Amino acid sequence: MNIVKKPGLSITNIILFISIGILVIFVAFPVLLILFNAFFGGGTLNVKDIVSVVSNPETYQALLNSVFIASGTTLFSTIVGTFFAWLVTRTDLPFKGFMKIVFLVPFMLPSFIGAIAWKMLLNPRAGYINRFFMDTLGFSDPVFNIYSYLGMMLVETMYLFPFVFIQVSGALERMDPTLEESARISGAGLFTITRKITIPLVLPSVISGALLIMLYSMAHFGTVAVLGMEHGIFNIPTLIYEKIHASAGNFQSIRTATVLASVLIISAACIIWLQRKVLGSGKYQIIGGKSFRPVELKLRGLRYPLLFICLGYIAFTILLPTLTIFLVGGLKTYGLPFTMENLSLANYHFVLFEWQLTKDAIFNSVTLGFAAAVITMFAGVMISYVLVKMKVRGKGILEFLGVLPFSVPGSVIALGVILAWSGKFGINLYNTVWIILVAYIARYMAFSLQANKAALSQVHDSLMEAAQACGATMGQTLKDIVLPLVRPGMLSAFFLIFLPALRELTVSVMLYSPATRTLGVAIYTLNEDGETVYSAALAGIALIIIVLGQLFIKKVLGAKQQ
Partner 1 sequence: MSYIKLVDVTKKFGEVIAVNNLNFEIGEGECFSMLGPSGCGKTTTLRMIAGFEDIDDGEIYAGDKTLSSKKRGYYLPPEKRDFGMVFQAFAVWPHLSVYENVAFPLKLKKLKREEIVQRTNDALKHTNLLDAAKKSPADLSGGGKQRVALARALAINPKVMLLDEPLSSLDPHLREEMRFEIKDLQKHYGFAIVYVTHDQSEAMALSDRILVMKLGVVQQIDSPLKVYNEPANKFVFSFIGLSNFLNVSVSDKGIKTKDSGIVSYPKYPIDDALKTQKDIVLASRPSEIGFLSEGGIPGILKRKSFLGEIIDYAVDVNGAEIRIQKGRKEPGPNTGETCHLDFYHPHWYSCND
Q: Which is nearer to partner 1, 287 or 544 (CB)?
A: 287
Q: Which is nearer to partner 1, 5 or 290 (CB)?
A: 290
Q: What are phi and psi of 228, to 5 degrees?
A: -105, -40
Nearest CA to 404 among 62, 114, 59, 34? Answer: 34
Structural Rg of the chain based on CA atoms? 25
Nearest CA to 215 among 279, 255, 273, 148? Answer: 273
Question: Taking CB under 8 A as the rule, does residue 278 contact partner 1?
Answer: no
Q: Which is nearer to partner 1, 209 or 329 (CB)?
A: 209
d(CA 293, CA 558): 26
Q: Which of 58, 181, 360, 528 binds partner 1 (CB under 8 A)?
A: 181
Considering only the stretches 190-198, 209-217, 455-463, 472-480, report the one whose residues sit in contact with partner 1 under the rule CB under 8 A.
Answer: 190-198
DSSP element (H, E) containing 227: helix 222-227
Q: Which of 126, 278, 286, 388 binds partner 1 (CB under 8 A)?
A: 286
Q: Which of 185, 246, 340, 559 binds partner 1 (CB under 8 A)?
A: 185
Q: Which of 192, 422, 432, 473 binds partner 1 (CB under 8 A)?
A: 192
Question: Taking CB under 8 A as the rule, does residue 189 contact partner 1?
Answer: yes
d(CA 220, CA 207): 19
HSE, CB side, 13 Å, CA atoms: give it for residue 446.
16
Shortest reach from residue 474's CB to partner 1, in Å:
40
Residue 164 neighbours by CB under 8 Å, 6+ apart: 77, 78, 80, 81, 82, 85, 206, 209, 210, 212, 213
Question: Applying CB under 8 A, what is the total number of residues that bind partner 1?
Answer: 28
Shortest reach from residue 295's CB to partner 1, in Å:
8
Q: At what angle do helices 410-420 and 251-280 cross, to 10 degrees?
A: 140
Question: Taking CB under 8 A as the rule, does residue 54 contact partner 1?
Answer: no
The answer to whether the CB of 205 falls within 8 A of the CB of 265 is no
Question: Taking CB under 8 A as the rule, does residue 285 contact partner 1?
Answer: yes
Considering only the stretches 5-13, 188-196, 272-280, 303-311, report the one whose residues sit in contact with partner 1 under the rule CB under 8 A.
Answer: 188-196
Q: Which is nearer to partner 1, 138 or 187 (CB)?
A: 187
In Å, how far are 388, 451, 473, 493, 495 from 458, measured between CA atoms? 10, 11, 21, 15, 20
Question: Taking CB under 8 A as the rule, does residue 300 contact partner 1?
Answer: no
Q: How many residues does the chain have?
A: 562
Shortest reach from residue 90's CB to partner 1, in Å:
15
The answer to whether the CB of 146 falls within 8 A of the CB of 227 is yes
Q: Which of 105, 201, 357, 366 binds partner 1 (CB under 8 A)?
A: 201
Considering only the stretches 6-14, 91-99, 104-112, 196-204, report the one whose residues sit in contact with partner 1 under the rule CB under 8 A.
Answer: 196-204
Considering only the stretches 76-84, 177-185, 392-400, 511-519, report the one whose residues sit in contact with partner 1 under the rule CB under 8 A.
Answer: 177-185
Q: Which amino acid type is present at position 227?
A: L
Q: Which of 182, 344, 457, 458 binds partner 1 (CB under 8 A)?
A: 182
Residue 166 neighbours by CB under 8 Å, 6+ apart: 104, 209
Q: Which is nearer to partner 1, 249 or 288 (CB)?
A: 288
**What residue ranges bind partner 1 (CB under 8 A)?**
176, 178-179, 181-189, 192, 196-197, 200-201, 203, 282-286, 288-291, 293
